[in-house]
Structure 1
Amino acid sequence: MLIGDVLLAQNLVTHEDIKIALHRQKENGGRLGDNLVALGALTQEQLEKAIYEAPRAPKSIEDTGIPGGNLLRILLKLMYANTLETASELSAAIKLPIGVVNRMIQEAGDRKFLESLGNADQSTFSETRYVMTEAGKRFTIEALEQNQYVGPAPVSLRDYQARINQQKITNEWVEQKKIEKSFENLVIADDFVRRLGPGVNAGKSILLYGPPGNGKTTVAEKVAEIFANVIYVPYCFEVDGQIIKVFDPAIHKPKFTSETDKRKNSGLRREEFDGRWVPCERPVVITGGELTLEMLDLSFNAHAKYYEAPLHVKASNGTFIIDDFGRQLVSPEDLLNRWIVPLESRIDYLKLHTGKSFSLPFDELVIFSTNLSPDDLMDPAFLRRIPYKLETVGPTREQYYEIFKIVGKGRGLEITEEILETVIEELQVNNNFDLACYQPKFIVEQIIAACKYQGSDPYIDKELVVDALKNLYTTSAKGAGKTAAKSGNRGKSTPAVAAV
């Protein structure tokens, strides 16, 4: 990993800044970071902070924190599985500096596992090519029988624990203006954002509850998107000789680009930082009814003989959203009991299949979202451990109209007072349904689909609205078919949030 990669990942410089600085570096020498400071692309303080936060590349096998024998097994497995021949190819695969890899190659040669095939012409420089001996192949096959992990070298448990603590989510202070801006495209009450903001900065758990369709999931996702700091996620870590994979492309979003990758072959100030760590955005894990207790424990692959980290470990230093809480396959009581200790002590304990236990810092913003009654789901002891509890209720008539107009405008439809009256009459006069924030979008999408079926440009009239509303609920739904009118504001508190 290069200093340019780190600075780009943290949005401190641009690709153009790097290009100009590389040109200056060729002419004047010096470090890339110093050249960027000289050009005014960033300050010395910003450079030093970025260097301090990024993991430094190990200079020796001992610096990796992993036993040399374990690293040698991974190196030979990579060579065997991917037909790698040179030190630079092995360095790129195992994510360790070429100096460390050369020492491992020397050890493999001393043990008669590798032999030289001469030099490989790389146009600008030449490298020695290596091939496995029969003894090396036997050793590698035995290593594959122990576990079939083939990939970047792991980091140590101690280094992973320290890294989680170093990049805590509470280290990132989110300004009030930034939180307000992230919710500016929602019809939302000011007091809701005012109460939500402290919870976001505290990094403690948040409970969002209220009737369905009023923006709980939208709020949770907006909160997760607020954070901007770069964190470093290991490809895997090692505990007692066991490999536990952490980096998941489906969850972790690297801060590298194709242009960044191309520069890795430039040969300028290479390996300044530890390539076993991937600079990423703070992760966001969203799970719903599919969540089970097993998903919160280490997953051991009996065939490959290594572990996959549980969801909440992959969410470390980020946000873990439990949507539709109370509708999981596991009972709410069992799920809450599993998390009482981590939420209280901010430490989680995991166990290997060998019986070995270890701890990891529990650092993430946990958001519970439910449309069930919290008092029915949680006992007072657990509710006490969730310091921020926010209710989302249905919109007033005015807010409902505002949402309707915004959604309609986005699809080329003009929503008039007459259309609103038709909706209110169908929902609350002819039936007894509450207004909900999701309904305008549902109605508009139904109308657009009907216009497409008719082969016409989008338009809206009473007939299309009534047809759309018939798809909103079934005739047997609670409140269907009643004639008693209900005021949109009667007995309602000011709504908290309305998702557009």
Structure 2
Amino acid sequence: MDPIAEDFFPPMPARLEETGLNVKFVSALLFRSMYLLGLETNVAIAAQLRLGQGIVDDLLGKLKQQGFIEIKGFEGADSRVARYSLTTAARDLAIESARQCEYVGPLPVPLAQYQEQVVRQGLANEQISMERLASALSHLVLPASVIRRLGPAVNSGQSLLIYGPPGNGKSSISEAIGRAFAQPIFIPHCVEVDGQVIRVYDPTVHEEIREEKSGAGDYRELLKKRPDPRWTRCRRPVVVTGGELTLEMLDLDFDQTAKFYEAPPQMKAIGGVFIIDDFGRQLVRPKDLLNRWIIPLERRVDYLKLHTGKKFDVPFDELVIFSTNLSPRELMDPGLMRRVKYKLHLDPPSMADYVSIFQGVCRRREMDLPDEILSWLLEDFYPRHGGSCAAFHPAFIVEHAEATCRYMGREPRLTRDLVADALENLFLVERAPGASAPGASAPESSAPESSAPAVGSARAERAS
């Protein structure tokens, strides 16, 4: 893990004013937390809001003077842990506040502080070396030219189009690129905009880096400087969307019941990688989707809108990867094409790479790969079917052979019959009644089955 730059580190606020939020907003969240969660002690309240104990104690003292809080006593002999309760007036305020917003959790970070932090920990601050990128892609069998061309695109932190026939590793490459980044960033639990709460941190997307992981020594030094606990130290995010993506998903998602927002996927991907997989197969037209990205891709800023009509901007600091097996000319016009800064066509593997992939798959599954199987595939089957091999074929063949062996109660192994059976699940085959499978004789005609289950397994495999 790269050393954590001190400039990236959000320090703990020493005073309430340093949180960037007004007293009314913080008090309302405190009242809701006490009312809805039954919090009583100053320690529990500070832990819930993720504020310094001194700030919480000062705020509780002022609220007590204003008649909103009562002291009920102390926890045992420890006078530092006081028990509080809401007065009737504060309880009424809590109920009214909960009608407007039910959010209870860490104190949000104001938009201005969030924007500043995104710039400090920008993607361009981390440059990926050829060695590190090659390491991140080492589980894939790829030509050296692919890694060479990917590097500048990754370090640009802008946009990349990966296209080519299905099943040759486009999705796997896209996701592996995200793992090449090593520099940690800080993600706020929530962001406050015009009094509204937007939840940004998502444990399904943001991988927290705890102290015991790499870089622990550096992090312990930073802990002495008291980090702001409203921010979570994470790896740079990798957000993947596919055919389910719609234009509505790119807007803030307002929960009509809880009355706060969920950040859209591109906002959760800030500081990392945003992958639009199967581009062109979304319900929305590709041109409409790309038109939504014109300003973010060109100006590196995205505009969002609250249900109140308030518009605001966030830095569009992320590497956007479009992955597709459709022709780019069918998806975008020249004007949109030029806004995608980098393009990479991914070809099917060479026969030598295909053999390496097949050997790696069998080695991991502790299965022999007979020479006669390879010879038949390379010299007979693929030539008769237009030479249309793909990087995912070896894993597909082996998985189907294993499934058949398990069904028949045999030890997993590869035979020509089992490989031929697997290929019938991979190719549409039309033959005369009584004709044998592709392993025994040539079919009358065949075509790759692009919608077969194999597409879901379209990944280049490990070489070893």
Match for 1:141 among 95, 100, 109? 95
Partner of 1:326: 280
Partner of 2:128: 174
- Residues 269, 397 of structure 1: CA spacing in aligned structure 2 closer, same or farther, 3 A cutoff? closer
- Residues 476, 113 of structure 1: CA spacing in aligned structure 2 closer, same or farther, 3 A cutoff? farther
Partner of 1:296: 250
Q: Is the 8 A contact 1:97 1:271 kept in 2?
A: no
Residues of 2 paired with 1:309 and 1:89: CA distance?
27
Structure 2: gaps spanning 5 or more residues:
215-221, 432-437, 447-458
Q: Is the 8 A contact 1:403 1:437 kept in 2?
A: yes
Residues of 1 paired with 2:183 and 2:311: CA distance?
31
Letter in 2 for 1:463: D
Match for 2:167 among 213, 233, 237? 213
Partner of 1:340: 294
Corresponding position: 1:481 with 2:443: yes
Q: Is the 8 A contact 1:395 1:498 kept in 2?
A: no
Corresponding position: 1:78 with 2:40: no
Q: RMSD value over aligned CA atoms?
A: 2.4
Percent identity over the alignment is: 44
Task: Render the CA deviation track for 1:256-276: whole Å, top value 9, x for unaligned.
Answer: 26999xxxxxxx988812111
Q: Is the 8 A contact 1:320 1:364 kept in 2?
A: yes
- Residues 62, 72 of structure 1: CA spacing in aligned structure 2 closer, same or farther, 3 A cutoff? same
Q: Is the 8 A contact 1:215 1:498 kept in 2?
A: yes
Task: Render the CA deviation track for 1:406-455: whole Å, top value 9, x for unaligned.
Answer: 11111122223310123246643554460111000000111111121122
**Runs of 4+ off more than 3 Å:** 49-52, 257-260, 268-271, 424-427, 429-433, 479-484, 497-500
Q: After TM superposition, list the pairs within 5 Å mapping 1:168-317 onto structure 2.
A: 168-256=122-210, 272-317=226-271
Q: Is the 8 A contact 1:432 1:481 kept in 2?
A: no
Partner of 2:20: 65
Letter in 2 for 1:395: P
Structure 1: gaps spanning 5 or more residues:
1-10, 13-45, 261-267, 485-496
Letter in 2 for 1:452: R
- Residues 332, 392 of structure 1: CA spacing in aligned structure 2 closer, same or farther, 3 A cutoff? same
Count of residue pairs brought into register by the alignment: 434
Match for 1:453 among 387, 407, 413? 407
Residues of 2 paired with 1:335 and 1:212: CA distance?
22
Residues of 1 paired with 2:184 and 2:158: CA distance?
20
- Residues 178, 269 of structure 1: CA spacing in aligned structure 2 closer, same or farther, 3 A cutoff? closer
Partner of 1:159: 113
Partner of 2:450: none
Partner of 1:36: none
User: SS of the counterpart of 2:374?
Assistant: helix
Task: Render the CA deviation track for 1:358-384: whole Å, top value 9, x for unaligned.
Answer: 111100000000000001101111111
Task: Render the CA deviation track for 1:2-30: whole Å, top value 9, x for unaligned.
Answer: xxxxxxxxx58xxxxxxxxxxxxxxxxxx
Residues of 2 paired with 1:182 and 1:75: CA distance?
45
Q: After TM superposition, list the pairs within 5 Å mapping 1:336-375 onto structure 2.
A: 336-375=290-329
Q: Under a length normalisation based on structure 2, what TM-score does the superposition of the two structures give?
A: 0.89
Shift of 1:196: 0.7
Residues of 2 paired with 1:108 and 1:309: CA distance?
32
Shift of 1:51: 4.0
Q: Is the 8 A contact 1:283 1:319 kept in 2?
A: yes
**More displaced 10-residue stretch of structure 1: 55-64 or 419-428:** 419-428
Task: Render the CA deviation track for 1:164-207: whole Å, top value 9, x for unaligned.
Answer: 11111110011121112222232111111111111111112011
Q: Is the 8 A contact 2:360 2:461 kept in 1?
A: no
Residues of 1 paired with 2:99 and 2:430: CA distance?
59
- Residues 409, 345 of structure 1: CA spacing in aligned structure 2 closer, same or farther, 3 A cutoff? same
Q: Is the 8 A contact 1:91 1:97 kept in 2?
A: yes
